[in-house]
Amino acid sequence: MSLVVTDLRVEIGGDVVVDGVSFAVPDGGRLGLIGESGSGKSLTALAILGLLPDGAVASGSVTWRGREILGIPDRQLARVRGSELAVVFQEPLTALNPIRTIGRQIAEPLRIHGGASRRAARAEAVRLAARVALPDPERVIRRYPHELSGGQRQRAALAMALAAGPSLLIADEPTTALDVTVQAEVLALLGDLVAHEGMALVFITHDLAVLAQVATHAVVLAGGRAVESGAVAELLARPAHPVTRGLVRDATASLWRPEGSA
């Protein structure tokens, strides 16, 4: 297994917000963490990455390719994060630096983790911009985040995450802020990237219909606990927990909602 999370707990101010969550992601696997707002799914991802907010304390175990990474010094974890583990967040404006060009930001991981020259990193930034279907890559890498649409910014964030060739991508609600058409395009792109780049994927969402498009297995979270897990197709067909049944109802309603309705 590439990633193994065992009995993960996160406490903030004495409150347990993630309570005993366990799962594993094999090489090339596609796992979803799904639940409503406040279920602990994003905090689980942040704990894995060592990016918890100040005051949050994580315990349990997170191993990456057999090595314990939970609680290791940030300097050591930083060498893994970005080069082997990458993340894409819900709102790319929080991940993209507003005063740096898109090309410079895509190239930065190549220079930090790969030691690429400025010229080589720029050429690779153009290739990655094309890989994530950004229009006119030579031009777009010279632009700033505010000059791109929401969908283009998310594609740029994906290119940045892919730059160092990670083995695992954590995508935290990456399409929630996008309209339905752009959302479908980004999901299709994400599925293609994971399949062809050989990465494993942890996809975080509150929408089971979205999850079904990119993941094969899922862990359902509620109140910081894992309440059900299994193949996505099985969860859709035979949900056992009330929370999962509610997610299935929501997914079914979204699929059958008439176009243009609220």
Residues 125, 159, single domain; the answer is yes
Q: Is 124 a domain residue?
A: yes
Alpha carbon separation from 99 to 91, 92, 93, 105, 226 (Å, rounded): 17, 14, 11, 10, 40
Q: How many domains does the chain have?
A: 2
Q: Which residue's entry shows tokens 């090489």?
A: 27
Residues 38, 66, single domain; the answer is yes
The pLDDT, as a whole number, for residue 1 is 63
Q: Is 63 a domain residue?
A: yes
pLDDT above 90 (res 133): no
Residues 256, 183, single domain; the answer is yes
Q: Which residue has the higher pLDDT, 1 or 40?
A: 40
Question: Tell me: the pLDDT tens digits for 206-236?
Answer: 999 899 999 999 999 999 999 999 999 999 9
Least confident of 98-107, 172-181, 219-228: 172-181
Q: Is 200 a domain residue?
A: no
Q: What is the CATH number of the domain that holds 28?
A: 3.40.50.300
Burial of 149 (0-12, 13-18, 19+ CB in 10 A): exposed
The pLDDT, as a whole number, for residue 114 is 67
Residues 226, 253, single domain; the answer is yes
The pLDDT, as a whole number, for residue 261 is 45
Residue 47: helix, strand or coil by DSSP? helix
The pLDDT, as a whole number, for residue 259 is 47
Helical packing angle, 102-114 and 118-131, nearest 10°:
120
pLDDT above 80 (res 116): no
Question: Does the predicted TM-score (pTM) go above 0.85?
Answer: yes
Q: Domain range holding 69?
A: 1-78+176-194+206-262
Residues 61, 92, single domain; the answer is no
Adjacent-strand bridge partners of 33: 204, 219
Residues 110, 143, single domain; the answer is yes
Q: Report angle CA 212, 221, 74 to the nearest 5 degrees.
A: 100
